[in-house]
């Protein structure tokens, strides 16, 4: 049995400013750095044997903090990067809403109608996250694996194992950064979602 533990990178400066990041990057805040350190407790709690991470700086730094001094391998995967938001990247939500109100609304409420702007659409992003999952599951028929990724990509990963499908899963609340979502994979295509946005490892760290 393979257990996939999926998390978001720590908080960044652009997160606090309400800017979309996509394939661009902004530095982790002090809170974001601490969140990565809290993930180290999750790595210990869940006996993580390997970490797969988006190569984006904010995700990689979070993965390195999650690993800490443990001898856990980190493998970078481009397929785990955030959705490429094209010309929206670096702009605030208010700026995007003002310029493209209908497309902005479709992005949040009707993702199947969203029209990409020099970036990716949801189908393209879903296809590459599926490639990432296929590779991870093939390489790890059993054990405990941590995936460090991004908000949109995390929902894409989770939706592959949800009977609701992506459009319905997209409407779920965004999980807290450095929280743990977990899927127990039964075979190449099937899995059971057991955790979504769990933060009990935060408490474990604070008690020490």
What are the residue numbers of the active site? 9, 82
Backbone angles phi, psi at 100, to 5 degrees: -135, 70
5, β-bridge pairs: 146, 182
Rounded Cα distance, 13 and 35, in Å: 14
Q: In angstroms, what CA-CA distances link 94 with 1, 17, 104, 128?
A: 44, 11, 10, 29
Rounded Cα distance, 62 and 33, in Å: 7
């Amino acid at each position: 049995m393979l257990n996939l533990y999926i998390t978001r990178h720590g908080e960044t400066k652009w997160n606090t400013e309400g800017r979309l990041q996509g394939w661009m990057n902004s530095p982790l805040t002090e809170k974001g750095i601490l969140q990565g350190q809290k993930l180290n407790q999750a790595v210990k709690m869940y006996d993580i044997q390997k970490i797969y991470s988006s190569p984006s700086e904010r995700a990689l730094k979070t993965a390195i903090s999650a690993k800490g001094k443990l001898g856990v391998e980190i493998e970078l995967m481009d397929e785990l990067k955030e959705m490429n938001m094209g010309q929206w990247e670096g702009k605030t939500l208010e700026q995007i809403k003002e310029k493209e109100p209908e497309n902005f609304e479709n992005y949040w409420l009707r993702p199947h109608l969203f029209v990409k702007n020099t970036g990716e659409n949801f189908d393209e992003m879903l296809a590459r996250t599926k490639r990432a999952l296929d590779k991870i599951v093939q390489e790890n028929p059993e054990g405990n694996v941590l995936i460090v990724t991004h908000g949109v990509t995390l929902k894409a990963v989770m939706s592959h194992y949800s009977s609701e499908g992506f459009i319905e899963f997209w409407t779920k609340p965004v999980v807290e950064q450095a929280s743990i979502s977990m899927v127990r994979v039964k075979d190449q295509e099937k899995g059971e979602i057991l955790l979504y946005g769990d933060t009990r490892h935060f408490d474990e760290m604070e008690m020490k």
